[in-house]
């Protein structure tokens, strides 16, 4: 099974045109542009991987093993190809250039409001690699230099399958490890979790979300007169801790003096300023209210999940 994140038109501007009236089990159409190239050009790779994958996924032998996800206009779709890609009409694309539409017939498997799907799926458009492309594989790593580990992707695949009616395809995932459940959180949820852990331990955390400071997402300050113990750290009275949170490091981690780095796939080591999934999971053991929040956040996994 292969999974793809599709942008239908510039900034998903064509979603309403193609999918606006399409309901579950209806047949609809999606399209790509890619200039005046033909379908054969795309299959030959002359227009890059996105165009090639779009056409390959519609091959009859691949149709039943393909899921296409679109998130736009506060809605979430899962589609499945049911016809080959065909060369459509000659039009002027959004960039003002002439092109042939390349269209694909699909069946609508899922159409839901974004607010009703897991945050992991609702926030997929914030992933730079997926959102900057037209038809990007979910679970295949972006072509970056100095990679240390592939983005797993299977957690998104599990979440997608759980939106479908029975019978569903089962997604294979790696052997469990301490804290593997945290991979089902979106990046925003993970930042919230870390902030709540420090807050429950006794720190003042002014904001749960970063983005305004380079290399720092969360500030935790001990305003009490006693040390605060959080996992493997001791924060002294009056001390302020800067925290950087990354779901998955794909480049070699670099030392950031005075900053706690939290990333679920960091190598296991004894550095107090580096927390991987196992260390964060340990810290959760002393945060019962945050653990309840985690259970509620991942309730969508249901009986399909590994034990939390």
Average pLDDT, the chain: 88
Confidence of residue 200 (pLDDT cuts 50, 70, 90): very high
- The number of domains in the chain is 2
Q: Do 17 and 145 belong together in one domain?
A: yes
Q: Do 101 and 246 belong together in one domain?
A: no
CA 4, 132, 108 angle in degrees (round to 5)?
A: 35
175 found inside a domain: no
307 found inside a domain: no
Backbone angles phi, psi at 59, to 5 degrees: -60, 135
Q: Do 80 and 146 belong together in one domain?
A: yes
Distance CA 213, CA 243 (A): 11
Q: Do 96 and 197 belong together in one domain?
A: no
Provide the 3-class DSSP secondary structure of residue 66. Answer: strand
86 found inside a domain: yes
Confidence of residue 177 (pLDDT cuts 50, 70, 90): confident
Q: Do 252 and 219 belong together in one domain?
A: yes
Domain region containing 55: 2-161
- Lowest average pLDDT, out of 17-21, 177-181, 287-291, goes to 177-181
Range from 4-8, 255-259, 303-307 that averages highest in pLDDT: 4-8
Distance CA 123, CA 136 (A): 15
Which among 15, 170, 30 has a CA at the least distance from the CA of 107? 30
Q: Do 7 and 146 belong together in one domain?
A: yes
40 pLDDT exceeds 80?
yes
Q: Do 152 and 206 belong together in one domain?
A: no
Ranges of H-type helices in 180-269:
187-201
- Mean per-residue pLDDT, 244-256: 74
Provide the 3-class DSSP secondary structure of residue 99. Answer: strand
- Mean per-residue pLDDT, 142-162: 68
> Is the peptide bond prior to 167 cis by the omega test (within 30 degrees of 0)?
yes
* Separation of CA 176 from chain center: 20
Ranges of H-type helices in 229-284:
277-284
Confidence of residue 149 (pLDDT cuts 50, 70, 90): very low
Q: Do 267 and 298 belong together in one domain?
A: yes
Q: Do 108 and 238 belong together in one domain?
A: no
166 found inside a domain: no
Top pLDDT among 124 and 305 is at 124
According to DSSP, the β-strands at 66-72 and 27-32 are unpaired
Top pLDDT among 165 and 106 is at 106
Top pLDDT among 241 and 258 is at 241
Distance CA 187, CA 127 (A): 10
Distance CA 164, CA 162 (A): 5
306 pLDDT exceeds 50?
no
Q: Do 104 and 205 belong together in one domain?
A: no
Q: Do 93 and 196 belong together in one domain?
A: no
């Amino acid at each position: 099974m292969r999974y793809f994140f599709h942008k239908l038109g510039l900034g998903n501007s064509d979603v309403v045109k193609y999918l606006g009236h399409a309901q579950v089990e209806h047949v609809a159409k999606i399209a790509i542009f890619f200039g005046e190239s033909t379908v054969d050009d795309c299959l030959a790779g002359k227009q890059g991987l996105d165009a090639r994958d779009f056409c390959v996924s519609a091959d009859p032998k691949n149709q039943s093993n393909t899921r296409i996800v679109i998130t736009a206009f506060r809605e979430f779709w899962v589609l499945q190809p049911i016809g080959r890609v065909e060369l459509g009409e000659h039009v002027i694309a959004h960039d003002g250039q002439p092109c042939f539409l390349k269209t694909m017939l699909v069946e609508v498997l899922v159409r839901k409001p974004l607010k009703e799907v897991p945050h992991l799926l609702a926030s997929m458009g914030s992933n730079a690699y997926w959102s900057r492309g037209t038809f990007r594989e979910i679970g295949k790593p972006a072509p970056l230099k100095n990679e240390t580990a592939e983005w797993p992707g299977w957690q998104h695949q599990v979440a997608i399958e759980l939106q479908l009616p029975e019978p569903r395809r089962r997604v294979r995932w790696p052997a469990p490890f301490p804290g593997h459940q945290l991979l089902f959180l979106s990046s925003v949820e993970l930042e919230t979790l870390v902030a709540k852990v420090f807050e429950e331990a006794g720190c003042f955390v002014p904001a749960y979300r970063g983005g305004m400071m380079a290399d720092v997402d969360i500030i935790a300050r001990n305003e009490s007169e006693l040390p605060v113990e959080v996992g493997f750290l001791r924060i002294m009275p009056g001390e302020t801790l800067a925290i950087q949170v990354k779901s998955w490091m794909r480049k070699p981690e670099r030392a950031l003096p005075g900053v706690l780095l939290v990333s679920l796939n960091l190598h296991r080591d004894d550095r107090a300023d580096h927390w991987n999934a196992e260390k964060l999971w340990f810290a959760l053991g002393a945060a019962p209210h945050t653990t309840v929040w985690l259970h509620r956040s991942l309730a969508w996994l249901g009986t399909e999940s590994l034990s939390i």
